[in-house]
Amino acid sequence: MAEMNMLQAINNALDTAMAANERVLCFGEDVGVFGGVFRATSNLQQKYGRDRCFNTPLVEQGIVGFANGLAAQGSYPVAEIQFADYIFPAFDQIVNESAKFRYRSGNLFDVGGLTIRAPYGGGIAGGLYHSQSPEAYFAHTPGLNVVVPRNPHQAKGLLLGAINDPNPTLFFEPKRLYRASTGEVPDGEYQLPLGKAEVLKEGTDVTVLGWGAQMEVIDKAVEMTEKDGISCEVIDLRSILPWDRETVAASVLKTGRLVITHEAPMTGGFAGEIAAAIQERCFLYLESPITRVTGLDTPFPLVLEKEHLPNHLKVYEAIRESVEF
Amino acid sequence: MTTRKSSTVYSPVFTDGSEHRIPTFKLLKQDGSLYKNGRAPDLDKAEARRIYHAMVTTRVLDERMLAAQRQGRLSFYMQCTGEEAAVIGSTAALSDTDMIMAQYREQGALAYRGFTIDEFMNQLFGNDRDYGKGRQMPVHYGSDRLHYMTISSPLATQISQATGYAYGQKMAGDGACTIVYFGEGAASEGDFHAGLNMAAVHRVPAIFMCRNNGYAISTPVVEQYAGDGIAPRGSGYGMDTIRVDGNDILAVYQATEAARRLAVEDNRPVLIEAMTYRLAAHSSSDDPSGYRSKDEEATWHSKDPILRMKYWLEEREWWSESEEKALQESLRREVLDTMKQAQKRPPPPLESLITDVYDEVPPALDEQFDRLKAHIRRHPDAYPKSAAHVQGGE
């Protein structure tokens, strides 16, 4: 075990995967000798050579198209998109190609080895194009895994899980926590399961659900509500697609209340899907409306970022309203 | 690192590239004789006949299946009439284990590699023997056995994928390459730019084979690009590039053979622009009489690549009129008989709706499937294709 921040854990996961399997390759913009604009791929080219860790031309649709081809050939490409905001040029390759490769070929071909990493989320004065949380766009696409870690231990275990999972995986990294989140990370290989939520804290009054950087916000809000005598059950969803309805539904059947929070805008956000599915499963057990605490339905602003984001105060108020309904 | 000598001028000098027109490589005249300075590639009789057989197979299949679509037996079809030499000639110049990533008008490559009429039919009718389990539209073939990547409809997406696939082949060191086919219309997509630039930068063993057939559905090339076709773009990326007469089987074969050497031995990707003509409609949903003249079509009918090869074979006494007649007749019979069989086969099982989305069916999807089955049991008449699959109580 070693103390690492999230970037070090990601770098360590890539190192572990590349050491274990020579068909694992890392590439993207500035990923090579420079080690990535956030340093997630530091020293990998030096260690594994220019053939296995390299810069690509600046073309996102090309990076993902190239990765699709490599994965179809039997390699394990780990492609980096520099910011999740710039994944949209590759939307066609991801949605029409990666996600449908196995299905459309009747399983003759697949891109199961594919992993796409991208830093996501706000809180770093990134304005419109260095702050977005695009997970809901991809949640509407059968065939993909969408995964978001919340801390260094998760980042390494889930990234290794993603690389080894036999399906294409989008791995969104909360860049606000890249250096802010630190913790103990095992040295060797370990994998955390995809598609499984994690109950971080048991409670009886209300279920509070989120993922990625929002878990830190939830922690602060829950600390405040507990002082008010409200018992919160906290769940990290971890996988947006496929998502773990069983764990969430079991919790809501117990607490009778659900608050979901994410940074992305409300309309069409993934909280909507969760709310609908849980309402179907837990209708007779719900004691208050399912509440969503999200970003506003606006592009991501620069100066009024704090007002836009669903911070701990907004989550705290939502929890109280849910319990007092 | 490549360095290029740059010259300097001291007043603004512009270039549109027109001083570098790319010539067209030709070997075979329409009457089956060679151009004076041309030397035929090293094609033996067996290989030449294999190529010709695939060309005729493709033509017969296309004619019969278009007719079948017109009769309402088939939902959709796309012919590759006029482009048989461009596709089959290039595939023939490769190793049979090189990867083919095609657009959709390359059934000739499959015919050459030995995809059976039965395999074509099963896909076209989406029956229980279709490798694709009836999920895709007709003509979206795929075969792992024949190293032919399953077709998808979005244009040009396979181009950047071919670059990645070829990179993997280079890393594996197995001496194989990838050929990727696309039309001149698809070359306007961003994935063409992405794929070729990345191939040149990363030096992958790939051959980019453009079928420039004059039209993208109704759009003529003058509305597709203003430059000298597709070929100069290859040089712009620093890629070895050649333009060939796409109706000339010998030129296509020789150019591809040389391209494969560059790709596999030196990791130099190559762009080949094959100049040809889409003699048929774009698809069974298109009528070209609305956008081009009969005269233009007649001109290109007189350049038929299959006839051209036939004359060459006959001149060498590698083919005869009686063999031609026998082949045409046996192929027509086989296509018709096989079509009848394929059409009678059952559809894929209902489970094929939900398998292969992921390697395993996720629980939420399984639940949707259970609800569907229960629904079909309640309304069997509304689902004639699958009602039999769900019989038994709820």
Q: What is the pLDDT of residues A125-181, one digit of tens each?
A: 999 999 999 999 999 999 999 999 999 999 999 999 999 999 999 999 999 999 999
Q: What is the pLDDT of residues B117-136, one digit of tens each?
A: 999 999 999 999 999 999 99
**A197 neighbors A243 (Cβ within 8 angstroms):** yes
In DSSP terms, A232 is beta-bridged to: A206
Contact of B369 with chain A, judged by CB distance below 8 Å, is answered with no
Q: Output the CA–CA distances (angstroms, integers) from residue B171 to A50, A209, B350, in the order listed.
A: 12, 44, 40
pLDDT class of B6 with cuts at 50, 70, 90: confident
Q: Please indicate whether, in this complex, the C-beta atoms of B135 and A51 are within 8 angstroms of each other.
A: no
DSSP state of A300: P
* Coil/strand/helix, residue A273: helix
Q: Which residue in B has a C-alpha nearest to residue A241's C-alpha?
A: B362
Could you say which of A80, A130, A153, A312 is catalytic?
A130
Give me the residue from B142, B164, B359 closest to A69, CB to CB: B164
Q: In A164-181, which positions are buried (b, 16+ CB within 10 angstroms) versus exposed (e)? A: bbebbbbbbbbbbbbeeb
Q: Please indicate whether, in this complex, the C-beta atoms of B135 and A112 are within 8 angstroms of each other.
A: no
User: What is the pLDDT of chain B when averaged over all its residues?
Assistant: 96
pLDDT class of B3 with cuts at 50, 70, 90: low
Q: Which secondary-structure segment (H or E) carries B99? A: strand B99-101
* Predicted local distance difference test score (pLDDT) of residue A195: 97
Letter for the amino acid at B322? S
CA distance A239 to chain B (A): 13
Q: Which residues of chain B have a CB within 8 Å of the CB of A77?
A: 164
Interface test with B, best of A52, A64, A105, A110 (most B CBs within 10 A): A105
Contact of A188 with chain B, judged by CB distance below 8 Å, is answered with no
* Predicted local distance difference test score (pLDDT) of residue B5: 66
* Predicted local distance difference test score (pLDDT) of residue B393: 47
Active site residue A130: yes
Interface test with A, best of B101, B161, B189 (most A CBs within 10 A): B161
Q: Output the CA–CA distances (angstroms, integers) from residue A285 to A209, A249, A257, A282, B216, in the order listed.
A: 17, 10, 8, 5, 58
Kindly provide the residue ranges of all beta strands, DSSP E only, lying in chain A, ordered along the sequence: 2-5, 24-28, 53-55, 76-80, 115-120, 145-147, 169-174, 182-185, 198-201, 206-210, 232-236, 239-241, 258-265, 291-295
In DSSP terms, A239 is beta-bridged to: A147
Name residues 201-260 of chain A within 8 A of B (Cβ).
Answer: 242, 245-246
Q: B108: which 2 tokens?
A: 């000739």
Q: Which of B242, B217, B239, B240 is nearest to B229 (CA)?
A: B242
Q: What is the pLDDT of residues B243-299, one digit of tens each?
A: 999 999 999 999 999 999 999 999 999 999 999 999 999 999 999 999 999 999 999
Give me the residue from A57, A74, A242 closest to B197, CB to CB: A57
**A96 neighbors A64 (Cβ within 8 angstroms):** no
Give me the residue from A71, A97, A142 closest to B157, CB to CB: A97
pLDDT of A74 higher than 90: yes
Residue B212 class from Cβ within 10 Å (0-12 exposed, 13-18 middle, 19+ buried)? buried
Q: Which residues of chain A have a CB within 8 Å of the CB of B190?
A: 59, 61, 89
pLDDT of B392 higher than 80: no
For residues B282 and B275, give the distance between their C-alpha atoms in angstroms, rounded to a whole number: 17
Q: What is the pLDDT of residues A82-103, one digit of tens each?
A: 999 999 999 999 999 999 999 9
Q: Which residue in B has a C-alpha nearest to residue A79's C-alpha?
A: B164
Q: What is the pLDDT of residues B196-251, one digit of tens each?
A: 999 999 999 999 999 999 999 999 999 999 999 999 999 999 999 999 999 999 99
Contact of B141 with chain A, judged by CB distance below 8 Å, is answered with no
Q: Which residue in A has a C-alpha nearest to residue B129's C-alpha?
A: A106
